[in-house]
Amino acid sequence: MLSENIKAIRKSKGLSQEEFAVKLNVVRQTISKWENGLSVPDSDMLISISEVLETSVSVLLGEPVIEQESDDLKAISEKLEVINLQLTQRKETRRKVLHWSFMALSTLLAVTFVLLFFSNSVYLNWDYGNSETAVMGVGIHIFEWLFIRIAPAALLAGIIGALLTRSRR
């Protein structure tokens, strides 16, 4: 029973006899003898073996060892599934944020365009003899001039972005 348990646990940990022997400071032939039931380790060595194999001495001495490969694969599979769901949720959240950002940008540009269109450049009729009024009028004129030239491209980009990031369900 001990020999089978040492061998099974060593293999489940992915250790060769040589690697296992190095960790225990013994020769490989000693490991082979233990696993073939030709000799048994002393109590101090059993404790060292349990530490290297990260298992309890009771498991080494008697509790049957169940192959854990399928359990390990199942656990890894479940963890990967959880990670995949988290990544999918993060991607979906990012897509929604981008979509609504493009929608808000497009709406803001359209509303600003309409307001500028109906304001009919009221600053043109202001008295520019006052320096504060002149500065404010020039600032509004610069904003309007830049907006009229940049807004159509930005609006088109916002609409395209909103269409590309919409839900495809």
CB atoms within 10 A of CB 41: 19
Domain 2-67 has what CATH class? mainly alpha
pTM metric for this prediction: 0.48
**How far is Cα 70 from Cα 77, in angstroms, rounded to an integer?**
10
Residue 69: per-residue pLDDT: 57
Token pair belonging to 103:
């929608």
The domain limits of the chain are 2-67, 70-164
Q: Please, are residues 135 and 152 in contact by the beta-carbon 8 Å criterion?
A: no
> Which are the contacts of 48, defined by CB distance < 8 A and separation ≥ 6?
24
Query: How confident is the prediction along the chain (169 residues), in pLDDT tens digits per residue?
Result: 788 888 888 998 888 989 989 999 999 999 999 889 888 888 888 888 889 888 888 888 876 545 555 567 788 888 889 999 999 999 999 999 999 999 999 999 999 988 888 887 777 788 888 888 899 989 988 988 898 899 999 999 999 999 999 887 6
One-letter identity of residue 157? A
